[in-house]
């Protein structure tokens, strides 16, 4: 193949092309990115959290008695907070017994690490002792322990630190009153001190770092379907997820489990700031999932018109919460949570893959117009969903065009062949219409995990996204996270369990694009000697220049079973030196374990590079 470049036709492209889609699906939040180690800490799990009948899924889920001299019951009289009605009453007849929690598939403990324990407690009757807190490993050894202060007859938060003298992959935590009698307990919590950036109520350091390593330019949250829920009562309401943990409103997660809201809007925004990514919250367009059709828990239309003003105010309040001065009502809530400076929110998504019915259109229009009028500085992202939703996709585009919505969110999950054959998808887009946020996409082999074939077809397609970076503003692979043994959706980008993070081959493609982004697109041509379409569509290239380093980055994808010998002509580019950084991801099509290898490459004005069979190569060049 002969490769040359035409820098005279360079164009500006989006500086936010690669971001991430975070949805609380597959235990991505509780039991996942959110570092809380106690499951059902607020005793709020309920039978109604799950669509399948599971009688163990109740306020006692994950809790048990350790020892032989105690019992516990669940009470709701005079709770810590009205939003967290349930709490445990532990009755101790013989000291030494206590209330144990098994965590999310066990509590992972590391030797020498410190853990922050907290609990709301009050004595019932005369019991005024302290609480001994222990971490116990699989062999019943105590591997960490500490005591709280003396509890009294009023709800109060107690905190203590445990330091582990041994490791365990599956420990449990036990709270052991030091006197007999009854004690009420709620919001029993254990966090590693080693959270991402050491944040309180923070995120799991290894997982958060794996995400940060993509260098995402934005984070979309909290979904997906989680954003609009499967009924009005299940809609994600941002204002219920900020403030003190005990005052947040936990709820049923649409993916069939429980959502504590401990990872709420404050934590999402904080994470964005910590990784230098734009927050992209997505709020329901006043309608739940598939607004007027059957979805999960029943049939419901949108928010009644008489309540829409209130809902629109909630959307506007989010902007005040994120960006308002600390003297404003909502700015003060943010400041009180420890962030007096604004979060500089720039984007808001309204709607997620909704059916474009009159119910939707009416509500979306009201919200869009209100935000546009009050906050013209905010870019509203509308929704058109997947093109295979047929008329909804077309009607979504019609509505966006009519309202002049600045950007719309498209979704598609397709087989690798679709990505190979549709690299011109955005070449054909009308540049005068809304910009595109490709908010959810992935190459799917039905029922099978990511492999080199899916990853390379995504890489191939991403070269076309860079080429169309003047109309495609943002993109995010979906879904991002999945906890092994707890997945509702396959494939996902990053798998994990309590002790390990397992990025997929698709993750490395996202990371190579994220870490090698640029704001200028430099057109180039690849001339293959074999001109047949099924051959030429399997080799692709994109070239960008990074504004800060001025590096020029050439991305080359070869999805052919043979290597391609390329003669690369760099003479039109102002390359400095003769050494480039070369990253290569390669493997056989069904390889699921491949990871990129990084090395150096000798370059000159004219040089040869062999694109390995089934590979993605990134050549990073210094410029004069």
Applying CB under 6 A, which part among 3-11, 218-226, 312-320, 589-597 lies near ligand AHR? 218-226
Least distance in angstroms from the C-beta of 202 to ligand AHR: 25
473 carries an active-site annotation? no
Least distance in angstroms from the C-beta of 279 to ligand AHR: 18
Least distance in angstroms from the C-beta of 300 to ligand AHR: 18
DSSP 34: B
Least distance in angstroms from the C-beta of 106 to ligand AHR: 27
C-alpha distances in Å from residue 247, one per residue of 133, 258, 345, 424: 24, 16, 24, 50
- Answer yes or no: are the C-beta atoms of 245 and 187 closer than 8 Å: yes
Least distance in angstroms from the C-beta of 250 to ligand AHR: 20
Query: Considering beta carbons, is residue 429 or 489 the nearer one to ligand AHR?
Result: 489
Count of residues of this chain found to bind ligand AHR when the rule CB under 6 A is applied: 12
Applying CB under 6 A, which part among 72-80, 221-229, 319-327, 375-383 lies near ligand AHR? 221-229
C-alpha distances in Å from residue 509, one per residue of 349, 493, 529: 25, 10, 27
Residue 396 found at the interface with ligand AHR (CB under 6 A)? no
Distance from C-alpha of 567 to C-alpha of 606, rounded to nearest angstrom: 7
Binding-site member from 31, 106, 216, 223 for ligand AHR (CB under 6 A): 223
Distance from C-alpha of 149 to C-alpha of 177, rounded to nearest angstrom: 11
Residue of closest CB approach to ligand AHR: 224
Strand 218-221 relative to strand 278-283, pairing: parallel
C-alpha distances in Å from residue 103, one per residue of 50, 190, 496, 550: 19, 9, 16, 48
- Answer yes or no: are the C-beta atoms of 366 and 271 closer than 8 Å: no
- The DSSP secondary structure of 42-110, one letter per residue, reads TS---GGG-SS--TT-STTTTEEEESSSEEEEEE-SS-SBTTB--EEEEEESSBTBEEEE-BTTBEEE-
Residue 49 found at the interface with ligand AHR (CB under 6 A)? no
- Answer yes or no: are the C-beta atoms of 451 and 589 closer than 8 Å: yes
- Tell me which residue of 119, 109, 131, 121 sits closest to 175, measured CA to CA: 131
Residue 222 found at the interface with ligand AHR (CB under 6 A)? no
Residues 303 to 332 in contact with ligand AHR, rule: CB under 6 A:
none
**SS3 (DSSP) at 176:** strand
Residue 225 found at the interface with ligand AHR (CB under 6 A)? yes
Binding-site member from 24, 246, 353, 409 for ligand AHR (CB under 6 A): 353
Applying CB under 6 A, which part among 116-124, 219-227, 420-428, 501-509 lies near ligand AHR? 219-227
Residues 453 to 492 in contact with ligand AHR, rule: CB under 6 A:
478-479, 489
Binding-site member from 352, 454, 542, 583 for ligand AHR (CB under 6 A): 352
Query: Considering beta carbons, is residue 28 or 151 the nearer one to ligand AHR?
Result: 28
Kindly give the interhelix angle for 358-374 and 305-323, rounded to the nearest 10 degrees.
40
- Kindly state the helix (H) or strand (E) to which residue 131 belongs, with its residue range: strand 131-136
Query: Considering beta carbons, is residue 289 or 585 the nearer one to ligand AHR?
Result: 289
Distance from C-alpha of 582 to C-alpha of 598, rounded to nearest angstrom: 6
Residue 410 found at the interface with ligand AHR (CB under 6 A)? no
Distance from C-alpha of 162 to C-alpha of 166, rounded to nearest angstrom: 12
Applying CB under 6 A, which part among 217-225, 260-268, 314-322, 427-435 lies near ligand AHR? 217-225
Residue 409 found at the interface with ligand AHR (CB under 6 A)? no
Query: Considering beta carbons, is residue 117 or 419 the nearer one to ligand AHR?
Result: 419
**How many H-runs (helices) and E-runs (strands) does the chain carry?**
11, 35
Least distance in angstroms from the C-beta of 513 to ligand AHR: 19
Catalytic entry in 246, 353, 361, 466? 353
> Which residue is listed with tokens 């995400």?
211
Query: Considering beta carbons, is residue 287 or 539 the nearer one to ligand AHR?
Result: 287
Least distance in angstroms from the C-beta of 514 to ligand AHR: 19
Phi, psi dihedrals of residue 480, rounded to the nearest 5°: -85, -55
- The DSSP secondary structure of 525-569, one letter per residue, reads EEE-S---HHHHTTEEEEEEE-TTT--EEEEEEE-SSS-EEEEEE
Query: Considering beta carbons, is residue 118 or 487 the nearer one to ligand AHR?
Result: 487
Least distance in angstroms from the C-beta of 552 to ligand AHR: 34
Residues 19-38, one symbol each (x = binds ligand AHR by CB under 6 A, - = not), give: ----x-x-------------
Query: Considering beta carbons, is residue 226 or 371 the nearer one to ligand AHR?
Result: 226
Applying CB under 6 A, which part among 220-228, 280-288, 360-368, 424-432 lies near ligand AHR? 220-228
* Site of interaction with ligand AHR (CB under 6 A): 23, 25, 223-225, 352-353, 411, 440, 478-479, 489
Q: Which residues are catalytic?
A: 353
């Amino acid at each position: 193949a002969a490769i040359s470049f035409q820098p005279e036709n360079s164009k500006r492209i989006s500086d936010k092309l690669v971001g991430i889609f975070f949805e609380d699906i597959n235990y991505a939040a509780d039991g996942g990115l959110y570092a809380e180690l106690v499951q059902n800490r607020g005793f709020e799990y309920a039978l109604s959290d799950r669509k399948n009948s599971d009688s163990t899924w109740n306020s006692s889920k994950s809790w048990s008695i350790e020892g032989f001299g105690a019992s516990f019951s669940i009470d709701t009289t005079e709770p810590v907070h009205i939003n967290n009605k349930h709490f445990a009453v532990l009755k101790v007849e013989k000291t030494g017994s206590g209330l144990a929690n098994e965590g999310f598939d066990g509590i992972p403990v590391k030797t020498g690490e410190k853990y922050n324990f907290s609990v709301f407690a009050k004595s019932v009757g005369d019991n005024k002792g302290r609480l001994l807190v222990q971490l116990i490993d699989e062999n019943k050894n105590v591997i960490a322990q500490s005591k709280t202060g003396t509890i009294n007859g009023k709800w109060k938060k107690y905190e203590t630190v445990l330091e582990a003298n041994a490791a365990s992959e599956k420990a449990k935590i036990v709270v052991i009153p030091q006197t007999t009698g009854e004690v009420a307990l709620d919001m029993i919590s254990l966090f590693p001190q080693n959270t991402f950036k050491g944040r309180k109520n923070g995120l799991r350091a290894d997982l958060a770092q794996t995400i940060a390593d993509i260098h995402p330019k934005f984070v979309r949250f909290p979904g997906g379907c989680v954003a609009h829920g499967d009924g009005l009562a299940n809609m994600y309401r941002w204002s219920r997820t900020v403030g003190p943990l005990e005052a947040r409103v936990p709820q049923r997660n649409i993916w069939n489990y429980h959502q504590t809201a401990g990872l709420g809007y404050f934590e999402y925004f904080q994470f964005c700031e910590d990784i230098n990514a734009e927050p992209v919250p997505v709020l329901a367009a006043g309608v739940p999932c598939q607004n007027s059709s059957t979805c999960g828990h029943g049939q419901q239309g949108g928010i009644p018109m008489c309540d829409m003003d209130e809902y629109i105010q909630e959307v506007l309040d989010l902007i005040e919460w994120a960006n308002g001065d600390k003297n404003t009502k909502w700015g003060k809530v943010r400041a009180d949570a420890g962030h007096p400076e604004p979060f500089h929110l720039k984007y808001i998504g309204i709607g997620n893959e909704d059916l474009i019915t009159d119910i939707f259109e009416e509500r979306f229009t009201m919200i869009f117009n209100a935000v546009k009028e009050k906050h013209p500085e905010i870019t509203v992202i509308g929704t058109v969903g997947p093109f295979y939703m047929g008329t909804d996709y077309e009607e979504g585009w019609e509505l966006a065009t009519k309202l002049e919505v600045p950007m719309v969110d498209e979704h598609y999950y397709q087989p690798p062949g679709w990505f190979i054959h549709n690299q011109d998808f955005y070449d054909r887009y009308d540049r005068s219409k809304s910009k595109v946020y490709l908010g959810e996409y992935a190459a799917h082999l039905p029922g099978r995990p990511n492999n080199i074939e899916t990853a390379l077809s995504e890489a191939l397609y991403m070269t076309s996204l860079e080429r169309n970076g003047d109309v495609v503003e943002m993109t995010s692979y979906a879904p991002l996270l999945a906890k092994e043994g707890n997945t509702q959706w396959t494939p996902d980008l990053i798998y994990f369990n309590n002790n390990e993070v397992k990025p997929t081959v698709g993750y490395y493609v996202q990371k190579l694009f994220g870490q090698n982004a640029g704001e200028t697109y430099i057109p180039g041509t690849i001339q293959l000697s074999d001109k047949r379409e099924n051959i030429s569509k399997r080799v692709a290239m994109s070239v960008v220049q990074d504004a800060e380093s001025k590096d020029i980055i050439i991305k080359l994808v070869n999805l052919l079973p043979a290597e391609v010998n390329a003669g690369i002509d760099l003479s039109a580019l102002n390359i400095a030196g003769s050494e480039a950084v070369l990253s290569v991801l390669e493997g056989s099509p069904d390889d699921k374990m491949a990871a990129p290898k990084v090395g150096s490459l000798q370059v000159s004005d004219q040089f040869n590079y062999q694109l390995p069979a089934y590979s993605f190569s990134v050549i990073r060049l210094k410029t004069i």
